[in-house]
Structure 1
């Protein structure tokens, strides 16, 4: 009997990459999405008999409760992602990012599982060496990171969970986002040919969107050994500063001009080096390098020439 999986926000940047992978694995997949961005990122899946779609709001109990009853695994991707969007609509962000997840957890039975995307921006600036493992103290600054930490803490009261603390995601997706750091910097390199960096020494970790999808399927395949744990999910070869990232882009776009500024500040002040050793020990290894992801984005931006794909 095939597993039934409920993916909230499944038409978004990550969901529109993950859902086809789940269907290819033979799972029955139901997506709940409010199609806020008017995206058509799942059109090609409608012919699949194992795919179901609900146009609805994850905050509405009457919408979610009957779907929960018939699912084995929940992957809650519906979210206001990132500090700028949460700042723009803090009430909406809190109701989706935290309240809807708390409701989900209350509706789940002990024999159901949940695979939760959280964020390694919760580390803030890490320790004195900016180094972070899953055991490092959490110092979230932005509303987005703070509420993700609250969700993860509540999640730990539920036995059947895996929490994936995602690095900054990059890469092309059917529902593209251009506000993510690598995606944004590549767009500027392709179209503007220059960038002005602030806090250029701030480091963070990166991961391709397809490898995030891979982390979720890896979690499904290895749930019994990974359950009840938190895992960083990122490219161990890509703990880079903003300046180092731009230098990587410049290797493929030589006329990209990089200027460092003394003013400007990140809203969530993330500056850390992240260890992904824990998940790698379970057998998970990302497939897409940062270099290959940059090359992919450069090709993608030959087709995308506007800002309609941003989250803000």
Structure 2
């Protein structure tokens, strides 16, 4: 008889977490989704509730959790500036206390644990593109620090548990990811532009639009996370996961207007503090160690995301 591997996904009702839960179920895992719905939503995983191998637990990981699983994907944390700056102390707590709680659980039950880290650990980079060896250029007292430094501290904790307790760890540094189930009002550039274009509102660009980002579609990113979790134990990361194609923010705005057939205009506003000018992953390591590279082109991913947002806006 085939025994299903039990996997816990914290932040499993969030944008990326829900895609990961779905994929793990498709791959034959028994999935425990843990979320406190701070930014996650039951709507994201409602279609999974009838699956006998899917379990939902409402819990805040800044408090200990006692469960038995084989693997833990730690994705719990608000990831957009609007949400993580809304309660910065709680953002730091979920990264530090939450990581300690999940690492303690993994140590006790001898589970393998993956941390969803972020490209934000590189801050406003002075090296381009960013390889994993780059230590970053981060302001530790700015409005984004709760997230940037919180995630950096989480990485520290993961590697200290690895060295001190021989824990099986994996650390993924996730670059800009987009796709269906993004929050309508999360303030991220893809969701902002699509929502504005579909509602005939002006598309707001902060700065002059020459700053660049790289956009990875959710399905590609989830594939990278699963490959990292399944990689040999000596592959700890950190490993960059993202799409190296670089786009100017202005180019993205024009693409969204074209794909939504919108008559929206583009307006410019001042750039927020510590907003990085360039963000592009060097994914050489992911290619070499995981055999991973993103496949979905921006236009294809945007079309799927636009279709999702049309549905959400119709339901409002």
TM-score w.r.t. length of structure 2: 0.85
User: 1:85 is matched with which residue?
Assistant: 83
Structure 1 residue 101: Cα displacement: 0.9
Is the aligned partner of 1:202 residue 2:200?
no
1:279-309: CA deviation from partner (whole Å, max 9, x where unpaired): 122211223221111111222232222898x
User: CA 1:253 to 1:42, structure 2 compared with 1: closer, same or farther past 3 Å?
Assistant: closer
Partner in structure 2 of residue 171 of structure 1: 179
Gaps of 5+ in 2: 163-167
For 1:268 and 1:74, the matched residues in 2 are separated by 32
Give the aligned partner of residue 139 of structure 1.
Answer: 137
Question: Which one is further off, 111-120 or 35-44?
Answer: 35-44
Instruction: Identify the residue that residue 50 of structure 2 maps to in structure 1.
Output: 47
- 1:230 maps to which of 233, 238, 242: 238
- Please say if residues 7 and 31 of structure 1, whose CA atoms lie closer than 8 Å, have aligned partners that are also in contact: yes
- 1:244 corresponds to which of 241, 251, 257: 251
Would the aligned equivalents of 1:123 and 1:270 in 2 still touch at CA under 8 Å? no
Relative to total residues, which structure has the larger helix share, 1 or 2? 2
State yes or no: 1:283 paired with 2:286. Answer: no
Between the two proteins, the alignment pairs up a number of residues equal to 298
**Alpha-carbon spacing, 1:193–1:23, altered in 2? closer, same or farther (3 Å):** same
- Quick one: distance in 1 between partners of 2:148 and 2:44? 27
Counterpart CA distance in 2 for 1:24 and 1:253 is 31
Please list, as runs of the form range in 1=range in 2, the aligned pairs for 1:68-217 lying within 5 A after superposition. 70-109=68-107, 111-127=110-126, 130-141=128-139, 142=144, 143-159=146-162, 160-173=168-181, 176-179=183-186, 180-192=188-200, 194-199=202-207, 200-217=209-226
The structure-2 alpha-carbon separation of the partners of 1:210 and 1:97, relative to structure 1 and needing over 3 Å to count, comes to: same
- For residues 36 and 5 of structure 2, the distance between their equivalents in structure 1, rounded to whole angstroms, comes to 24
Partners in 2 of 1:115 and 1:27 — Cα distance? 16
Cα-Cα RMSD? 2.4
Equivalent in the alignment of 1:27: 29
Q: Deviations over 1:202-233 (max 9, x none)?
A: 212221122222122112332436x2211111
For 2:267 and 2:184, the matched residues in 1 are separated by: 25
Higher relative contact order (CA 8 A, sep 6+): 1
Task: Name the stretch that deviates more: 89-98 or 35-44.
Answer: 35-44
CA–CA separation in structure 1 for the residues paired with 2:43 and 2:312: 16
- State the distance in 1 between where 2:239 and 2:307 align: 31
Cα distance in 1 between the residues matched to 2:200 and 2:260: 11
Distance change >3 Å, CA 264–CA 307, structure 1 → 2:
farther
Aligned 1:255-270 pairs, distance under 5 A: 255-259=262-266, 261=268, 263-270=269-276
Distance 1:55 1:153, change over 3 A: same
Contact 2:84 2:147 survives alignment (8 Å): yes
Aligned counterparts of 1:236 and 1:131: Cα–Cα separation in 2: 8
**Residue 4 of structure 1 corresponds to which residue in structure 2?**
6
